[in-house]
Structure 1
Amino acid sequence: MADFLRYEQQGHIVTLTMNEPERRNPLTGNTAVDEFLAAIDRIHGDRSVRAVIITGAGTAFSSGGNIHDMERQASGQVSGMEIRQDYRCGIQRLPLALFNLEVPVIAAVNGAAMGAGLDLTCMCDIRIASERAQFAESFVRLGIIPGDGGAWLLPRVIGLSRAAEMIFTGEPISAQQALEWNLVSRVVPAEELLPAANALAERIAVNPPHAVRLAKRLMREGMHTRLDTLLELSAGFQALSHQTADHREAVQAFLEKRKPVFSGN
């Protein structure tokens, strides 16, 4: 049985809840990364899944790195090469796997998202925050740097200047400031967070899943590729889309003025 991550599916929507509230849902010093990777593999293998929500149990979304791991790394008893390997074989596997998950992912940020916890939200496609949420790229305050991809992820979400401010000061920002900086797309009362995330997930899930998955892939590729390359990829994806049963159903339903019924084929 999973110790850290609770996996629940309702229809086409999977909710992953980080479930170590007494330690504020840390991402290191436990089985968090392995359980996330297992959940991502499970989602990849289940074509019924059309949207994913990630949230935290308790008052925090995620506190990021485990301070006791940092104490061990700072002790002088662990070599630099060993620490490097710990990162490469540990937390750094998470951004690669989650960022490339084909299914859209919504972060429902219920509380503090600190350090790697903030970076986890940036690995998601959409972020919704409780009014109680806080966000900090807090590594510098512990004398370290964003070791899990935050220096690549955060500037692409909020822009270079604001990302630099968060990374260089390590200071937290409120949910409202996160909204103003486009870190989150909306802020809701705490009791409305999961209903709002589920409602958004449902709005995504009603669409043909192949179109949503391919559109997400194009957006991801567009973050680091040239326009002509993206257009070529888009042409290939569009050719595949035109040949699907769901595309035929969408066209026919439009012509017949009825609601389409998508099968996922």
Structure 2
Amino acid sequence: MDATARIGDQHANFGLIAGGGGSQRLPRLVGARRAKELMLLGGWLDAEQALAWGLVNRVVPAGGVSAAVEELARELARKSGGASRTAKRLVDQGLDLTLADGLELELRLAGEHMRSADAAEGLRAFAEKRTPVFNTR
């Protein structure tokens, strides 16, 4: 998030309520008390407060968002696409599961992934002390 940006929920200022999922997603991200404060008062959060509340992962200097996004994309492109997809799936699906079921899913998917070309390349690269070259995007 740009250091000069701000985000908020302005519905209350215009006699409206969230209709696109904000009342369900926001409390899951920041907790019920913070969500109610933001939604009932129609306030704004500056970049540092959004970071502190966990709404954004990082704040970059003013005007630096494009460069930060490009660097993030380059870094992600160097990773295994298969491992990234599986990790995202584990987090997304795991949030709706009990811990025991989530751990079972992780064990199953990790086992499946270990049979992939990217896992083999990663282990070879580690043993050979070199940077892996992944083919899965």
Cα distance, 1:250 vs structure 2: 0.5
Tell me which of 18, 34, 46 is aligned to 1:174. Answer: 46
Partners of 1:200 and 1:228 lie apart in 2 by 33
1:117-152 CA-partner distances (Å, limit 9, x unpaired): xxxxxxxxxxxx112211111222222221111122
Tell me which of 59, 79, 89 is aligned to 1:187. Answer: 59
Cα distance, 1:216 vs structure 2: 0.8
* TM-score, normalization by structure 2: 0.90
The reply to whether residue 147 of structure 1 matches residue 8 of structure 2 is no
The reply to whether residue 208 of structure 1 matches residue 80 of structure 2 is yes
Between the two structures, name the one with larger relative contact order (CA 8 Å, sep ≥ 6).
2
Partners of 1:175 and 1:235 lie apart in 2 by 37
- For 1:246, the equivalent position in structure 2 comes to 118
Cα distance, 1:203 vs structure 2: 1.8
Partners of 1:146 and 1:224 lie apart in 2 by 23
Partners of 1:250 and 1:199 lie apart in 2 by 22
Partners of 1:211 and 1:237 lie apart in 2 by 10
1:153-189 CA-partner distances (Å, limit 9, x unpaired): 1122222221121111111121122122222222222
Give the 3-state SS of the residue equivalent to 2:59 in structure 1: strand
Q: Which has the higher strand share?
A: 1
1:217-258 CA-partner distances (Å, limit 9, x unpaired): 111122222112212221221122011001001111111111
- Percent identity, please: 38
- For 1:164, the equivalent position in structure 2 comes to 36
Q: Which has the higher helix share?
A: 2
Alignment of 1:67-216 (within 5 A): 129-216=1-88
Equivalent pairs counted in the alignment come to: 137
Cα distance, 1:205 vs structure 2: 2.2
Partners of 1:246 and 1:182 lie apart in 2 by 32
Partners of 2:27 and 2:75 lie apart in 1 by 28
1:56-78 CA-partner distances (Å, limit 9, x unpaired): xxxxxxxxxxxxxxxxxxxxxxx
Q: Which runs of 5+ in 2 are unaligned?
A: none
- For 1:46, the equivalent position in structure 2 comes to none
- For 1:68, the equivalent position in structure 2 comes to none
The reply to whether residue 260 of structure 1 matches residue 132 of structure 2 is yes
Tell me which of 95, 106, 114 is aligned to 1:234. Answer: 106
Say what the alpha-carbon RMSD is for the aligned residues. Answer: 1.6
Q: Which runs of 5+ in 1 are unaligned?
A: 1-128
Alignment of 1:30-41 (within 5 A): none
* TM-score, normalization by structure 1: 0.49
